[in-house]
Amino acid sequence: MCKLPQILILSTLLVASGCATVDFDYPKTESFALTDTADTHLGRQFADDLATRPADQSGFYTLPDAIGSLGLRLLLAERAERSIDAQYFLIHDDLVGKAFIRALLQAANRGVRVRLLIDDVQLSGYDKGLAALDAHDNFEVRIFNPFANRRVRGLDALRFSQITRRMHNKSFTVDNQITLIGGRNIADEYFGARSDEIFTDLDVLAIGSIVPKVSTMFDTYWNHATSLPITAFADAPEDADQALASLDDSLTEAMADIEASRYAEALKSSILNYIQSDASAFTWAKYELVFDSPDKVVPKAADESASITTQMRDSIGEVEEEMFVVTPYFVLTKDNIDAFRALRDRGVKVTVVTNSLASNNHAVSHSGYIPVRKPLLAMGVELYELRARIDLPADETQDVQNGKTTLHAKTFAVDRDKLFIGSFNWNQRSANRDTELGTVIYSPELATRLVERITAVLPQWTFQVFLNEDGKLRWRGFDDGKEVILEKEPQSGYWRRFSANTMRWAPIKGQL
């Protein structure tokens, strides 16, 4: 029997579905960060110390440990009295994701206004649950740059130029008094909750004048044309109370699992109590909050939109002695490589710490990094690649049994004088397609501490990449204190090496 008619019908359906559009005119009401929050618990807690600080400084507290960073988010949600504004690239339906959402829902139950803004790239199948949250009087959910096809995302292929531009920002702001930004999304692997995988990452907690600036950034995204209410895609539940009760039961079960684990300690974390009782825990410094305009996801407006790369360049100025970069993905253009060569020609020391092929969670991203190694090494750039398995401090993660470690922190220090922490990767997606957020902190103390902390663990945690006398790539590591030299990508099998090298030739570098 001829199948041509069926094929034609299927093709027609695919094209019709691919032409589906998003109603960016869907009605929504603008809202903005609450400003009358000085009388909240968090507002009063830091008021005396803030009164003695210059307006152009803020207090910063870095958070490299996974468990403490989750505990801090949950405790901040518990302390919230007026508002929570949360903005994330992804929130998974796993242990950490459920605990996080439960903390937000409990805050809403106490009368706290909760605004949750999530990028749509990994929300397939989540519409019903998010609609239940949105049915709460104090809880509003918006989806950033949504897909038109809610079930089969691939059917949005005809909107490729826009759907491949995503909101990668991560921010969590409570009562417009304290904010947390950095590299972590909301999922088990970012907070040490998985035994088979851990992402090493970095957040920074901040108080002071930076907080209302983060809130203004959030408002810009929240009210942007590409941020739509979840009700634009999912019907509100017929019985909101029942839907919320059912959702709360599910979230409570997840919380019980956490309370039976080492995360019970995180819920009683001393971090928040420590910084609230002693504001000297914060390092005070001048700063610049840097972020892309949400217009970056609109192809026709992207080229003219405010760019984080321009802001970072202006904030940092000329590098004089040292550039120390930590990035999960390192994909450069010819112009980027030339910029590094210019630094080296001026005698600037350049160190880059990134993922190895074995530790990288995206082999395709590694394919974009492969071609840059030889030219960078030839000019004297120092390259270190994270081992797939490292021994993290016991208080920073759950026990990872033979699991993979992936570098996910996005930070760099300049001249041990300025420090960037945020969501920006050194790749083409962050530079040209995704929106990003971060802060440049003018603090020799924090910048030096970061460089010294990472430098101290490089021999145990990484392989140093170098060129031998014949100009071939080699990897230097230490096992039991003895130096080993490897000729192939460490800790990776033939098929993974073959796949990464083959993907080098795909015309996708701009997407990496």
Summarised one tens digit per residue, pLDDT across range 378-413 is 999 999 999 998 876 655 555 555 578 999 999 999
For residue 263, pLDDT beyond 80: no
Helix then strand then coil, % of the chain, to nearest 5: 40, 25, 35
Beta strands in 89-188 (DSSP E): 113-119, 139-144, 171-174, 178-182
For residue 230, pLDDT beyond 90: yes
CB 358 within 8 A of CB 489: yes
Give the N- to C-terminal CA distance of the chain in Å, as an integer.
44
Q: How far apart are CA 268 and CA 259, in angstroms?
A: 10
Total Cβ atoms within 10 A of residue 160: 12
At the topology level, CATH places domain 285-511 in Endonuclease; Chain A (3.30.870)
- The per-residue pLDDT for 405 is 92
Topology agreement, domain 58-280 and domain 285-511:
yes
Catalytic center residues: 168, 170, 175, 408, 410, 415
Q: Reduced to 3 states, what is the DSSP secondary structure of residue 16?
A: helix
Q: Which amino acid is at 10?
A: L
pLDDT tens digit sequence for 264-275: 665 565 566 656
Q: What is the mean pLDDT of residues 83-112?
A: 95
Beta strands in 68-225 (DSSP E): 83-88, 113-119, 139-144, 171-174, 178-182, 197-200, 203-208
Candidates 375, 488, 490, 351; CA nearest to 426 is: 351
- The per-residue pLDDT for 4 is 47
Q: Tokens 């974390």, residue?
A: 269
Please report, for residues 19, 39, 232, 424, the alpha-carbon distance to residue 65 in angstroms, rounded to integers and kept in the order given.
45, 31, 38, 19
**Burial class, 206, CB count within 10 angstroms (exposed 0-12 / middle 13-18 / buried 19+):** buried
Q: Tokens 């710490």, residue?
A: 353
pLDDT tens digit sequence for 447-484: 999 999 999 999 999 999 999 999 999 999 988 888 99
Q: How far apart are CA 452 and CA 401, in angstroms?
A: 28
Who wins on pLDDT, 223 or 124? 223
For residue 40, pLDDT beyond 80: yes
Q: Reduced to 3 states, what is the DSSP secondary structure of residue 465?
A: strand
Architecture of domain 58-280: 2-Layer Sandwich (3.30)
Q: What is the mean pLDDT of residues 303-320?
A: 94
**Helix or strand (DSSP H, E) at 322:** strand 322-326
**Domain residue spans in the chain?**
58-280, 285-511
> Quick one: pLDDT band at residue 259, thresholds 50, 70, 90?
confident
Q: How far apart are CA 506 and CA 145, in angstroms?
A: 26
Q: What is the mean pLDDT of residues 486-499?
A: 87
Dihedral sign, Cα of residue 408, residue 434, residue 173, residue 212: positive
> Quick one: pLDDT band at residue 277, thresholds 50, 70, 90?
low
Global pTM reads 0.93
For residue 16, pLDDT beyond 70: no
**Burial class, 471, CB count within 10 angstroms (exposed 0-12 / middle 13-18 / buried 19+):** exposed
